[in-house]
Amino acid sequence: MTVFRRASPPPPATRTRAVLCISLALVFASAQAQDAGALQAADPAHAGSAPPPLRLPDPGSADAQAQPADIAAARAIWQRANARVAEFPRGHIDLLRQEAGHTGPAAEPGGASAPLPLDLAQALRLSLRQRPELFTHADMNPLALAQVRVAYAVHVRELQRTWIDAVTTRQRARLLADMLDATRTGSELGRRMVVAGNWSQARQVREQLLEASAWQAAVAAQGEALAAQEQLAQRLGLWDAADVARLGERLPESLPAPPPTPSPGPGLDAGSIEAAALRSHPTLALERIAAQRQRAALGDDRRAAWQRAVDAALVALPDPGSAPTPPHIGDLSLLRDHALERAVEGDAKLLRLAAERRAMARQAWAQLQVQHAAALHAQNVVGPLQAALAQETLLRYNGMLQSSWELLASARERLASLDAAQQARRGFWLAQADWQALLAGADYADSATAPSSTGGGSAAPAGH
């Protein structure tokens, strides 16, 4: 009888070596693929994939709608139109949606696999493959290590901004496309009423102007979304057009909701944010040590003499309304004291740096709280109020108490409210990225005042 013996597992050291070999092989293969991609991207003879065709919405027309030639023709058209509308529970709106093919949400195809989502952590890992200078090394001195950490914090902040803008502009393009559909419904309804003789050309032209404004906003939002996607692809090292086009499909549908309360971070509160910002600066501690040494090497009498000279120069300073003249010190014994000069300049530099850093901490924390409050207000107050108004308008429309135009205007207002809420959410996450970068050692860069790709387009008008 044959006996099958189960092989004994390899010793732990052997398993560790095997895992290490596999990891090194994967890293080596990834580096080879990256090198090959860089060579192809820089080769003019390598065409790459063709970008997908740009699909813009139909711009519509400014042509005037022809009216019936006589009363009999107008009556016949009017009767046919009313009979067609009566077939639908909500009249004109359901009729136009049915003709446009918008009878309901389309079913997802069975078995279709969605692309892998691209969150911030994955985007960061991809971007770092192109930034070897942001890796720390074992033989770095403390100053070089601090400088790399600050550069890394700036890189993370800029990547977060780009990722947030890519997600926000993509959602905004969808919202403004829906708003264009709503305005086109009103324009088509007005066209049919002109044909039936119920409307004037002037009212129809107003609907066409609304549609034209919504088209401009939708196209601008589409362009902003494409630009933000290209910016993100550039930071991730994606250069092939097909890969860049698939990048948009991997982004989440929207930004996550803000937390219930803003937090400065683990172990921090409002009273310790300035100290945290000071500790994170790469050279502030070194500047402080140097200033202490220079102060210790200088006598108190020399510093007092310098202070008296400064006070006298400031008292003699001319009035600001006259010709600008800088303060003047004429004591050459003070000016030729190099130890005093180094101590005074060191103190002044340290004070400017510390004051700037503390101001950055207060400003960044205040901005984070403001943006958080705005995002929660848009989400918890404005959003529910707008939804309640839209529901009430629909109920009154179903009860024949409001017109189709009021229902369409309510739909546009609801979409504009969703867009405003998304922009407020974007503001919070940008402020959060700025705050985290400051705590990591970077200088504060207020995203609220920085140019962004989401502010160029304007929403379509909400009403008449």
User: Which DSSP state fits 132?
Assistant: G
Q: Domain 65-98+118-280+358-439 adopts which CATH fold?
A: Outer membrane efflux proteins (OEP) (1.20.1600)
Residues in CB range of 188: below 8 A, 6 or more apart: 96
- Where residue 64 falls (left for φ over 0; alpha for ψ -120 to 50; beta otherwise) is beta
Q: For residues 221 and 132, what is the distance between their CA atoms, to the nearest angstrom? A: 35
Per-residue pLDDT at 411 exceeds 60: yes
Q: What is the pLDDT of residue 461?
A: 55
pLDDT at 288: 92
**pLDDT at residue 225 is higher than 90:** yes
Q: Which of 25-39, 121-135, 407-421, 429-443 has the lowest mean pLDDT?
A: 25-39
For 55, half-sphere exposure in the C-beta direction (CA atoms, 13 angstrom radius) is: 3
C-alpha–C-alpha distance, residues 70 and 165, integer Å: 56
The structure tokens 């809420």 sit at: 421
**CA separation (Å) from 302 to 47, 297, 313, 337, 417?**
71, 11, 17, 9, 65
279: three-class secondary structure by DSSP: helix
Our CA angle for 282, 428, 217, nearest 5°, is: 125
Q: Scanning the structure block, which residue is given the tokens 């409050």?
A: 373
Residues near 87 by beta carbon (within 8 Å), at least 6 away in sequence: 95
Comparison of pLDDT for 35 and 296, the residue scoring more: 296
The answer to whether 425 and 181 have CB atoms below 8 angstroms apart is: no
CA distances for 340 relative to 42, 291, 300, angstroms: 56, 11, 10
Distance of CA 170 to the CA centre of its chain: 10
What does the block give as tokens for 390?
Answer: 């839209």
Does position 85 have pLDDT exceeding 50, yes or no? no
Q: Cβ distance 320 to 355 under 8 Å?
A: no
pLDDT at 373: 96
Q: What does the pLDDT look like over 306-356, one tens digit per residue? A: 899 989 988 888 887 777 888 888 888 888 888 888 999 999 999 999 999
**The pLDDT of residue 75:** 52
Q: Which of 114-128, 239-253, 391-405 has the lowest mean pLDDT?
A: 391-405
Count Cβ atoms below 10 Å from residue 248 Cβ, excluding itself.
Answer: 20
The one-letter amino acid code at 217 reads A
DSSP state, residue 379: I
Gap between the Cα atoms of 447 and 428, Å rounded: 10
CB 346 within 8 A of CB 291: yes
Q: Where are the domains of the chain?
A: 65-98+118-280+358-439
**234 pLDDT more than 90:** yes
User: From start to end of 205-252, where are the E strands?
Assistant: none
What's the rounded Cα separation, in Å, for the pair 309 and 298?
17
Tally the residues of the chain.
Answer: 464
In the chain, what percentage of residues exceed pLDDT 70? 75
**Phi and psi angles of residue 196, each rounded to the nearest 5 degrees, phi first:** -80, -5
CB-based contacts of 208, cutoff 8 Å, min separation 6: 60, 62, 187, 190
Q: Is the four-CA dihedral 436, 439, 445, 449 of positive or negative sign?
A: positive
